[in-house]
């Protein structure tokens, strides 16, 4: 079994090394030589070890159903662990004077690159990046250098579409059944083409095309809204924000996220990338390539996220009007709700200063639900939320149905019989229960380890943000936080990205192996 697992994980490691090599080019462009060396050496070492391991295990058997979820969990764990290496290496080899040169003129803080001398902070940053969360230890982002800023954004972009999907698109030799199992362990399971390999390539084609369109959109929008903004900085911002927007990752190259632009028009500009990131890639494929424009309303998830964004933004804005320390309740309410629902995590408001009610509203109405299944979002996903509310109404209506009547329900253009509906509801209900338990346990831990200045609502908000790979923060997450709490959030972000079950499969395997046990 271990040979099967390590062979597939090694293939992901080869890709990871290639991903890490890319930011070294950015380091060369901006003459950040220590960063370039750190990325180059880290990428080569990781790819070389992965290649040697892959070649050594090339005759290992193909994965079966019981291996797929283990490969997903272990593969992502390997990615976030080894992905932390460049942060640590660069922080160790970069002289203090060079770090100081990264600090913007007039700023009084020290370089956040110093935080990455702590391996745990590197691990946290890598986890947040590849899982597209957006919580960060680079507290003052501009002070870490352009190449690390790009690496953070690029990591989120790659992690959004998925490493396993990328591996399927690159490694042509993976057999059909094995490819299907691996694809299902990470992606939504929806096939866009006749086979899984072509589906993986179609996903990346859509993903790249939409990201490129957002680069152009953000660059042009910024040029007209902020005509005095440096063109070089505009281009760098556009590339990074397009990647973190489409991946719903939420990292920013600015010190205060999108609020750093100090522009209501820029806030409006960034709503479109968040909404697009929250839509499913299968929908975007049908809309762009198959010209099914009616799916903008007919697709159940797309329709739901648009309606939820409108209603939720209005309700949050109303709640913020009566909240304390909110200067622009409508502007901040609209942006923050869409950011939370799409799990992007760009921030334009001091959420830590909100009253408890709007904070709890955004947790339960947006962050826990998340965007569309098949997108790069976290949360329980809108499709599950819709299924659960449909199932609740169906069970209540059954009470009033005539005895012996054929009991069916139509959901998402499918007509389900009693047994089928109960199975769908059980699957969605169990996942939602486990998800909420993770958030609840993390909230209790946060209360115990957080600073006394924070409240229960702050603790719940931060835990839901980590679990939903959202990235919005009340301020609990920073380099001074408890290492225990930092570790808990790392586990949450990892579990949230791969939807928890693969993590539980690892735990079960550690105790019982892959043998069958009596329940």
Q: What would the pLDDT profile of 208-257 be if each residue is shown by its tens digit? A: 999 999 999 999 999 999 999 999 999 999 999 999 999 999 999 999 99
Residue 291 placed within a domain: no
Q: Read off φ and ψ for residue 415, nearest 5 degrees.
A: -100, 115
Per-residue model confidence as pLDDT tens digits over 269-295: 999 999 999 999 989 999 999 999 999
Nearest residue to 325 via CA among 353, 352, 351:
353
CA 146/CA 136 separation, integer angstroms: 16
HSE (CB half, 13 Å, CA atoms) of 513?
A: 4
The rounded distance, in Å, linking the Cα atoms of 319 and 153 is: 32
Q: Which of 373, 381, 372, 348 is nearest to 270 (CA)?
A: 348
In a domain, 463, yes or no: no
Strands 408-411 and 414-417: antiparallel
The CB density around residue 119, as the number of other CB atoms within 10 Å, is 13
Q: Using one digit for the tens of pLDDT, what is the confidence trace for 102-125?
A: 999 888 899 999 999 999 999 999
Q: Are 164 and 186 in contact, with CB atoms under 8 Å apart?
A: yes
Identify the weakest region by mean pLDDT among 63-67, 70-74, 418-422, 496-500. 63-67
Q: How many CA atoms lie within 13 A of 12 on its CB side?
A: 25
Domain residues for the domain of 128 are 2-273
Q: What is the DSSP string of 428-441?
A: HHHHHHHHHHHHHH
The DSSP secondary structure of 352-420, one letter per residue, reads GGS-HHHHHHHIIIIITT-S-TTSS--SS-HHHHHHHHHHHHHHHHHTTSPTT---EEEETTEEEEHHH
427 within a domain of the structure (yes/no): no
Residue 469, domain member (yes or no): no
**Whether pLDDT at 516 is above 70:** no
**Domain contains 61:** yes
435 occurs within a structural domain: no
CB 438 within 8 A of CB 489: no
- 316 is a domain residue: no
Kindly indicate the confidence band of residue 81, based on its pLDDT and cuts at 50, 70 and 90. Answer: very high
Start-to-end CA span in the chain (Å):
23
Across residues 461-487, what is the average pLDDT? 96
Contact at 8 Å (CB) between 407 and 419?
A: no
486 and 120 in contact (C-beta within 8 Å)? yes
Total structural domains in the chain? 1
Report if residue 496 sits inside a domain.
no
Question: DSSP state, 108?
Answer: -
Minimum mean pLDDT range among 76-80, 102-106, 395-399? 395-399
């Amino acid at each position: 079994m271990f040979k099967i697992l390590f062979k597939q994980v090694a293939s992901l490691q080869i890709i990871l090394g290639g991903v890490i090599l890319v930011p070294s080019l950015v380091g060369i462009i901006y003459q950040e030589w220590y960063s370039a060396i750190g990325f180059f050496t880290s990428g080569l070492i990781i790819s070389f070890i992965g290649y040697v391991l892959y070649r050594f295990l090339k005759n290992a058997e193909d994965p079966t159903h019981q291996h797929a979820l283990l490969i997903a969990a272990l593969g992502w764990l390997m990615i976030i662990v080894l992905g932390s290496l460049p942060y640590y290496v660069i922080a160790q080899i970069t002289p203090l004077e060079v770090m100081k040169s990264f600090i913007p003129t007039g700023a009084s803080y020290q370089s956040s690159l110093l935080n990455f001398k702590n391996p745990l902070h590197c691990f946290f940053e890598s986890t947040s990046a590849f899982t597209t969360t957006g919580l960060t230890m680079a507290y003052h982002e501009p002070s870490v250098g352009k190449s690390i800023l790009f690496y953070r954004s690029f990591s989120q972009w790659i992690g959004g579409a998925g490493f396993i999907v990328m591996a399927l698109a690159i490694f042509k030799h993976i057999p059909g059944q094995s490819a299907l199992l691996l694809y299902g362990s990470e992606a939504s399971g929806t096939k866009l083409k006749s086979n899984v390999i072509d589906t993986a390539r179609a996903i990346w084609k859509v993903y790249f095309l939409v990201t490129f369109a957002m680069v152009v959109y953000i660059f042009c929008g910024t040029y007209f809204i902020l005509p005095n903004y440096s063109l070089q900085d505009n281009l760098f911002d556009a590339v990074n924000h397009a990647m973190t927007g489409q991946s719903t990752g939420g990292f920013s190259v600015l010190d205060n996220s999108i609020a750093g632009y100090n522009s209501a028009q820029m806030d409006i500009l960034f709503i479109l990338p968040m909404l697009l990131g929250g839509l499913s890639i299968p929908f975007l494929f049908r809309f762009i390539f198959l010209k099914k424009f009616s799916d903008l309303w007919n697709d159940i998830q797309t329709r739901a996220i648009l309606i939820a964004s409108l209603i939720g933004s209005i309700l949050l804005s109303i709640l913020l009007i009566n909240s304390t320390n909110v200067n622009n309740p409508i502007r901040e309410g609209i942006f923050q709700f869409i950011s939370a629902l799409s799990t992007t995590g760009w921030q334009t408001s001091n959420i830590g200063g909100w009253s408890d009610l709007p904070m709890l509203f955004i947790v339960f109405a947006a962050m826990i639900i998340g965007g569309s299944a098949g997108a790069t979002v976290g949360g329980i996903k809108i499709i599950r939320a819709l299924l659960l509310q449909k199932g609740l109404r169906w069970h209540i209506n059954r009470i009033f149905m005539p005895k012996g009547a054929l009991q069916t329900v139509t959901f998402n253009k499918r007509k389900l019989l009693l047994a089928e509906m109960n199975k769908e509801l059980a699957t969605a209900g169990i996942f939602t229960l486990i998800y909420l338990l993770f958030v609840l346990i993390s909230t209790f831990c946060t209360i115990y380890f957080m600073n006394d200045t924070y409240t229960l609502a702050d603790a719940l908000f931060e835990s839901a943000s980590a679990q939903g790979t959202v990235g919005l923060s009340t301020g609990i997450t920073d380099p001074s936080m408890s290492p225990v709490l930092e570790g808990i959030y790392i586990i949450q972000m990892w579990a949230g990205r791969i939807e928890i079950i693969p993590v539980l499969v690892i735990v079960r395997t550690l105790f019982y192996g892959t043998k069958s046990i009596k329940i």
